[in-house]
């Protein structure tokens, strides 16, 4: 159990507060991109991480690492979402709409998993820990 009077943990050695915050923003910007493009299927989840990575990669090594990680994960999510949406539409049409009983919970689970992983990565990046998303294509190196 944590003592409420104990001092907060020291910041990670060698990673400045600015770097940690920009790395956190690289992960969280995917949520903003997803919300802003949700009308079009949420494909814009990788735009925020791409912009932050391109702007900050040369000056901040931790942001370079975490920006690439966020970008790779959200590109992977966009590809999987595109492939699954085609399958889900096909499955729904073939079953004359009855497939929605299966499709809607699967889509909800996919979105919830994406949301949870982005939040975990954001918290870890803000703590100065390099986070690696599971099942991610490493397209940007």
**Residue 96 per-residue DSSP state:** T
Phi, psi dihedrals of residue 56, rounded to the nearest 5°: -110, -5
pLDDT, tens digit (0-9, with 9 covering 90-100), for 27-42:
999 999 888 887 776 7
Whether the CB-CB separation of 130 and 62 falls below 8 Å is answered with yes
Report the range out of 1-10, 12-21, 33-42 with the highest average pLDDT: 12-21
Q: Among residues of the chain, what percentage have pLDDT more than 70?
A: 90
pLDDT, tens digit (0-9, with 9 covering 90-100), for 42-90:
778 889 999 999 999 999 999 999 999 999 999 999 898 888 888 888 9
Secondary structure (DSSP) of 21-79: HHHHHHHHHHHHHHHHTGGGTSGGGGHHHHHHHHHHTTT-HHHHHHHHHHHHHHHHHHH
Is the per-residue pLDDT at 20 higher than 70?
yes
Mean pLDDT for 7-35 is 84
For 16-49, letters b (16+ CB in 10 Å) and e give eeebbebbbbbbbbbbebbeeeeeeebbbbbbbb
Number of Cβ atoms within 10 Å of the Cβ of 92: 17
Is the per-residue pLDDT at 125 higher than 60?
yes
- SS3 state of residue 19: helix
Q: What whole-number distance in Å separates Cα of residue 64 and Cα of residue 8?
A: 27
pLDDT for residue 122: 97
């Amino acid at each position: 159990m944590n003592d409420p009077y104990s001092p907060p943990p020291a910041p990670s050695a060698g990673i400045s507060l600015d770097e940690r915050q920009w790395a956190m923003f690289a992960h969280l910007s995917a949520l903003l991109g997803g919300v802003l493009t949700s009308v079009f299927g949420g494909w814009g989840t990788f735009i925020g991480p791409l912009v932050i990575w391109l702007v900050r990669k040369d000056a901040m090594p931790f942001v370079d690492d975490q920006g690439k990680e966020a970008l790779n994960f959200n590109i992977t999510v966009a590809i999987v979402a595109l492939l699954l949406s085609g399958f889900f539409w096909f499955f729904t049409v073939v079953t004359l709409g009855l497939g929605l009983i299966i499709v809607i919970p699967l889509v909800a689970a996919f979105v919830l998993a994406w949301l949870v992983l982005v939040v975990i990565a954001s918290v870890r990046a803000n703590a100065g820990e390099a986070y690696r998303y599971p099942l991610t294509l490493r397209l940007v190196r």
